Structure 1
Amino acid sequence: MGHHHSRHTGQDTKRMRNIALAVIVPCGLITLLALIWLWPPATDTVDQSGRADQSSAQVIGVDEVDCPKTEAPEEPQTSGTSLVATVCGTAQVQITNGADRDRRVTVELPNGPGAPTVSEGDNVIVVKTTAPEGDRYDIVDHQRGTGLWLLAVAFVLAVVAFGRWRGFAALIGLAVTFALLLYFVVPAILAGSSPLLVAIVGSAAIMLTVLYLTHGLSLLTSVAVLGTLASLCLTGILSALWVAGMHLSGFSDESSTFLATSQGVNMQGLLLAGIVIGTLGVLDDVTVTQAATVTEVARANPGYGLRELYRAGTRVGRAHIASVINTIILAYAGSSLPLLILIAANNTSISNVVTTQVIAQEIVRSVVATLGLIAAVPITTALAAVTARRAL
């Protein structure tokens, strides 16, 4: 009897794997063909004739002076202190790379909102502009290469030390993600392809590569992939409907206007692409968690049927989604914090605020992403319950 049950279980497991492969292999082939079709053509070298020369430099001396007093227009004061520190004077810098290497020049100290504050010994970035009266150098930013490399090394060591081989696989998956974003998604959008189509194809390629690379070629991973694909398509459809229905153009600031005018990018499509790609970052976490949860519940309770497994997995999914919703809202609120503060300072009514282009876009982005995540729970849980029950 036991031998018969084992043989029957093995046949069911093999059958479920075949069903999963029958769905995933065509999806993978379609994704690969779409990548080839949408892959941006090689572009010629960008004309940089009108761009200012940029060099690395080190500050070797600073001479600060009192700034001249100017009459500023009267504005409502929200506090008793100034929000922007004003610094005047000059700095002596030594160029450390490029054609002007080792050259020492005197530059004006950066001034105004957001200007970098420099001290002696700082490594900075300077730009050189040519004028009839001579070359001019200006400090535009600090060098951050060394700090970023140290942070990257600490990140890699922490991930590998804790995750071991799986952590190493996750790092490779992260590299694949950045490669697809930098060499496919961004160039394809700049080449004029549909941003939404590029985002869906790029997200599918990232998901198929990263999930199998990180979690291995298993039935559990295949379930997570299917749940992610279904939820990702639903997110794309919902975002297209709501963005069109609410007449959102994708123009939110000067950067989007400049991008549309200089590169001809479809900003509404770019908004949709951002929603899809942003959702994928959380979606794979939800689907993998649901598939793993149902599988473990089935192993711990062999007597559970489909209904019991689905209910148990859904309870975990509800708790997960509740925390993820808060995470999404806080992430968007954090990125929009300067805008929220500006709105509060102007005493604008809430009803007028939420209907503006900028805020409405963020609301649609967060709500549609959340709807996609909510849909992922029952879809993935049902698929995992069926496969786990058959595999036992």
Structure 2
Amino acid sequence: MKIRCFIRCIVMLIGLLGFMSVQALAAPQDEAGKQLPQIDYLQGVVLKVQPLTQLKKVQGMSGAELVDIRLTAGEETGKEIKVTNYKMDRPGFDLHPAAGDKVIVAVSQEAGGKTYHLADYDRMPYVYVLLGAFALTLIAVGGKVGIKSLFVVCFAIFIILQGMIPLILGRHLNLILATWLTSALIAVVTQITVSGWNAKTWGAIAGTVGGVAVAGLLAVLSIQAMHLTGLDNEEAIMLKVTYLADIDFQEVLFAGIVMGALGAVMDVAISIASAQYEIKSSCPQYGFKELYKAGINVGRDVMGTMSNTLVLAYLGSSLPLLLLLSAQEHVPLLRIVNLNLIATEVARTITGSIGLICSIPLAALATGFFLSQKR
């Protein structure tokens, strides 16, 4: 038991140190050449809001208001400033502050001194509340397993933000290779941390890697065959035009499909492996055939709900698009289904679901094989 715990710690430590080293190497080497104006962002709270009717006739603006703000962070904590908040009748961009609201203030250095602008609402306090509720719920319900689950969630976020993304931006690593490495590392560390070093974990890892590999292969084929560009939303287009002109957004789309399917595939693989592990513990006389059959039966039950989970997740994120298309009754179905955005979502959903389904026999086979061995 001590040896197993030691091996688990070594694996986790190697993974963390490896990606921390990669992240250090992936840091951009040359920041010169991009002389952007320095803008600082400070937190503040709204004290008072007054309408400015005399500015309604400004071109492109539908109105304005004078906002009194007290800064609550930085060197100017406690300072009260006045900011003009312009409105353009654009719901996605207009801010409607009220007294007591927490906001973000953009501070820029200009020739005449500092200039303050109302940037956005300060949503982080409420994000922290949600994160705290999430962590407490995990620990209260799961106990030690909940703590492990919290660790693997943080690990996955850390690897993506501090490993994968810096590799792409700093070293221009091939995005497909970076996605495979990241997915494999997340799958291995997650399964070992949650389930331990045993046959159940090995089978779950094999099922996860196999299912994600199938989803990735289908994603590559779909992107090429359907001529998907990866530029299916405003954020992707903005990145292509401004900062990431040299990056292939078809690879970005591939990475999104694989990372989106990874969580569901891991869930299915560990569910099957855990069921087989418990059956073997209760019935030691069972061999490979019985364990494989049990794993397949469990996988079939899980398959229906998990495939539905992927479909509902993608449909939920695309609900505004569905409403937009449904409201335009004069647009023919042929045109709708051939839109790049629609075809992309279809490919994302179907490839992820197929990868999930393929992980079921793979996990059942691998776990049944490992559990049926004498040692």
**Is the 1:34–1:201 contact (alpha carbons within 8 Å) kept by the matching residues of 2?**
no
Secondary structure class of the residue paired with 2:78: coil
**How far, CA to CA, are the matches of 1:213 and 1:68 in structure 2?**
60
Tell me the residue number matched to 1:250. 230
User: Residue 67 and residue 384 in structure 1: after superposition, are their counterparts in 2 closer, same or farther (change >3 A)?
Assistant: farther
Report 1:1-392 matches (<5 A): 40-43=25-28, 49-64=36-51, 88-109=64-85, 111=87, 112-114=90-92, 115-129=94-108, 136-191=115-170, 192-261=172-241, 262-263=243-244, 264-302=246-284, 304-347=286-329, 348-391=331-374
Note the C-alpha offset of 1:177. Answer: 0.9
What's the RMSD between the two structures over aligned residues?
A: 3.3
Secondary structure class of the residue paired with 2:68: strand
**Is the 2:202–2:367 contact (alpha carbons within 8 Å) kept by the matching residues of 1?**
no
User: Residue 31 and residue 273 in structure 1: after superposition, are their counterparts in 2 closer, same or farther (change >3 A)?
Assistant: farther
**How far, CA to CA, are the matches of 1:94 and 1:37 in structure 2?**
42
Tell me the residue number matched to 1:4. none
**Is the 1:227–1:380 contact (alpha carbons within 8 Å) kept by the matching residues of 2?**
yes
**Is the 2:337–2:343 contact (alpha carbons within 8 Å) kept by the matching residues of 1?**
yes
Name the TM-score, length of structure 2 as normaliser: 0.83
- More displaced, 291-300 or 366-375? 291-300
**How far, CA to CA, are the matches of 2:351 and 2:202 in structure 1?**
25
Offset from partner CA, 1:19-74 (integer Å, 9 cap, x none)? xx9xxx9xxx999989978975322585563253322221111124679988xxxx
Larger Rg: 1
Secondary structure class of the residue paired with 2:373: helix
**Is the 1:110–1:139 contact (alpha carbons within 8 Å) kept by the matching residues of 2?**
no
Partner amino acid, structure 2, of 1:365: R
Note the C-alpha offset of 1:270. Answer: 0.7
Secondary structure class of the residue paired with 2:206: helix
Note the C-alpha offset of 1:375. Answer: 0.5
Secondary structure class of the residue paired with 1:128: strand
Partner amino acid, structure 2, of 1:328: L
**Is the 2:55–2:63 contact (alpha carbons within 8 Å) kept by the matching residues of 1?**
no
**Structure 2 stretches lacking a partner, 5+ long:** none
User: Residue 289 and residue 67 in structure 1: after superposition, are their counterparts in 2 closer, same or farther (change >3 A)?
Assistant: farther
- More displaced, 337-346 or 278-287? 337-346
Offset from partner CA, 1:259-290 (integer Å, 9 cap, x none)? 22322222100111111111111111111111
**How far, CA to CA, are the matches of 1:148 and 1:135 in structure 2?**
30
Name the TM-score, length of structure 1 as normaliser: 0.80
Partner amino acid, structure 2, of 1:377: I
Note the C-alpha offset of 1:311. Answer: 2.8
Q: Identity, % of aligned pairs?
A: 28
**How far, CA to CA, are the matches of 2:221 and 2:21 in structure 1?**
28
**How far, CA to CA, are the matches of 2:18 and 2:151 in structure 1?**
23
Note the C-alpha offset of 1:117. Answer: 2.3
**Structure 1 stretches lacking a partner, 5+ long:** 1-16, 71-85
Partner amino acid, structure 2, of 1:357: N
Tell me the matched-pair count. Answer: 354
User: Residue 154 and residue 30 in structure 1: after superposition, are their counterparts in 2 closer, same or farther (change >3 A)?
Assistant: closer
User: Following TM superposition, where does structure 1 have runs of at least 4 consecutive aligned residues deviating by more than 6 angstroms?
Assistant: 29-39, 65-70, 131-134
Tell me the residue number matched to 1:76. none
